Chain A
Amino acid sequence: MTEGNGLMLELKDVHTFYGSIEALKGISIDVREGEIVTLIGANGAGKSTTLRSINGLNHPRRGSIRFEGRDITNASPHSVVKMGIAQSPEGRRLFPRMSVHENLEMGAFQRADRKGIREDMDRVFELFPRLQERRTQKAGTLSGGEQQMCAIGRALMARPKLLMLDEPSMGLAPIFVERIFETIVEVNKQGTTILLVEQNALMALDVASRGYVLETGTVALADEAKALRQNEQVRKTYLGED
């Protein structure tokens, strides 16, 4: 935050490759403190790759990523978590043979403050009472919606400054989708900045303050969420309106 304008995360001209395939062709994205920023776009547009570039699982070949003024372009995944970025990955990726409780504990792996961890556990159970009912159950046996709650809860257990959510609504019944988005807003109100990747562009733009539209590895549009909602092209392509 050396810039003094609340700039939290800054991607500048990021190029990321899978082998010889260039998945990101120069992406620049800003996230300011307290915001909900959403990345929308079709399958293969580079949304998840953007998150993998930030969290250190796929280092960019060119460009830079800064978090709170520090360069994290080539930081290892565990040090990125330590700096305050946590993620709920696409497809939940829970530890299937661990209980709900253990999964949540794994989210706090980097932390040593037992008292704070217990408080955050209570907070997660408050957000998702269903998880408290299932706390001793193996995560692999939960329903899709419960797994998503567990994945978000697990990421929150890191007490992150920036929470990255990858497709939190994917494969969920509409009632769960609404519940998840309510929670996202709630978590944001409690002070966590959120970077939200979504295919459900309508819901995402409803809760976000700003949005980026990705197309084949580049930023096609960047604007206030309200403006994107009105944008002719976005409405046609991503919101299914004509």
Chain B
Amino acid sequence: MVTEARRPPLPLLRNRPSFTTVGGLTLVALLIVWLIVNLVKTPSDFAEIFLIGLTTGCIYALVALGYTLVYGILQLINFAHGDVFMLGAMMSATVAASVFGLTSGQSGVVVWLAVFGTLIIAMAFCGTLNATIEFVAYRPLRNAPRLAPLITAIGVSFILQNVGLAWKGPNYIEVVDVLPKSQVFDIGGVTYTWNKLIVVLITVPVLILLVWLVERTRQGKAMRATAQDMDASAMMGINVNRTISFTFLIAGALAGAAGLLYALYVTNVRYDQGFQLGLIAFTAAVLGGVGNLPGAVLGAICIGLIQAFNEGLTWHAPGSDWTQSIVFAILILILVFRPEGLLGERTPEGG
């Protein structure tokens, strides 16, 4: 009550809108006009491309969450995360073909069991790998200036890329093509195939599990507390080192799930794909508000949609050559206009 009385009246803002605000709003307006024109011209294509965007957005979301989880707790951009994802995809390709003996075109219950088994192995592998990276490369630098672990992360990224290169060579490796491409539905010419639906069907439970883990469990509470104040968490009796390890484990496991989905959906993997997809997922995390879990998912779906619209729409779309430029232009625009992201709050400690 006292605090409310003390609050000064809000000053009336009558400043002229700045050049950057006008520019940003113009861009958004143009984008919306472009989307509406495309929607009117080719409604069924538009809907189909929208669904494709949602599907790739799901894979981006799993990777983006890893960036956001780790950033939230250590304020570290884990540049090696994309490469953990890449190794997860390679691991999935190898396990599916060699361990479970899947071959392209195979179908039946065996395939589902094998895919599920591969998912578990990929998640365990990437989770362990990520936690190990933290232990070896980041933990000794916990009290060093922030730039030091950042540079180490880039170093680890190169190491993992070269591990991938040494393991599978410089060319694309084929992944067994087992996801059925039959149609789930065909409404007015808008089709959706099973291989896309499966990506969504695996992503959604993983996301629900993550929310439950962070919101409801003791370990999740420890994660949230450590992200907000590390010293105070230690004073509450939280084992901070173990909590950080656990966070990297979860982030890695999400990257492993993304790796499997990517391998099966795109059906080819190369050593440098983690770097590219990692940057896209990082942009998604920044777009949603880095450190914010729902934001990472929203950002990833936005980026997935933007990419799909850019590559799929026919009326004045820049096309796939421009995808990366557009994604990074978005990164820059977000950092200029709304550095806290779509869902982020400006917090005193977030700066």
Chain A residues packing against B (C-beta within 8 Å): 55-57, 76-78, 81-82, 86-87, 89, 93-98, 102, 105-107, 109-110, 140, 143, 154, 158
Interface majority SS on B: helix, strand, loop or mixed? helix
Does the CB pair B3–A76 fall under 8 Å?
no
8 Å CB contact of A95 from B218, B228, B239, B348: B228
Q: Which residue in A82, A93, A102, A105 is a CB contact (below 8 Å) of B232?
A: A93
Across chains A and B, which 6 residue pairs bring their CB atoms closest together, nearest first? A81-B237, A77-B234, A110-B237, A93-B232, A95-B228, A78-B239
Q: Which residues of A contact B22 (CB under 8 A)?
A: none
Shortest CB distance A131–B (Å): 15
Interface size on B, residues (CB 8 A): 22
Whether B237 pairs with A109 at a CB distance below 8 angstroms is yes
In the bound complex, residues from chain A placing their C-beta under 8 Å from that of B221 are 102, 105-106, 109
Residues of chain A within 8 A of B222, CB atoms compared: 109
17 A-B pairs whose Cβ atoms sit less than 8 Å apart in the complex? A57-B234, A77-B235, A78-B234, A78-B238, A78-B239, A81-B237, A93-B231, A96-B347, A97-B347, A107-B236, A109-B225, A109-B238, A110-B237, A140-B347, A143-B2, A143-B3, A154-B236
**Cα–Cα, bound, A172→B240 (Å):** 31
User: Which residue of the partner chain B has the closest CB to A76?
Assistant: B239
**Interface presence of B168 (CB below 8 A):** no
Most buried by A among B221, B222, B225, B235: B235
Tell me which residues across on chain A come within 8 A of B349, comparing CB atoms: 96
C-alpha spacing A87/B221, complex, angstroms: 19
Q: Which residues of B contact A (CB under 8 A)?
A: 2-3, 218, 221-222, 224-225, 228-229, 231-240, 347-349
- With A and B bound together, what is the CA distance between A109 and B239 in angstroms? 10
Pick from A106, A143, A158: contact of B225, CB under 8 Å:
A106
Q: Which residues of B contact A57 (CB under 8 A)?
A: 231, 234-235
The reply to whether B236 and A81 form a contact with Cβ atoms under 8 Å apart is yes
* Cα A158 to Cα B218 with chains together (Å): 15
Q: Is B347 touching A94 in the complex (CB atoms < 8 A)?
A: no
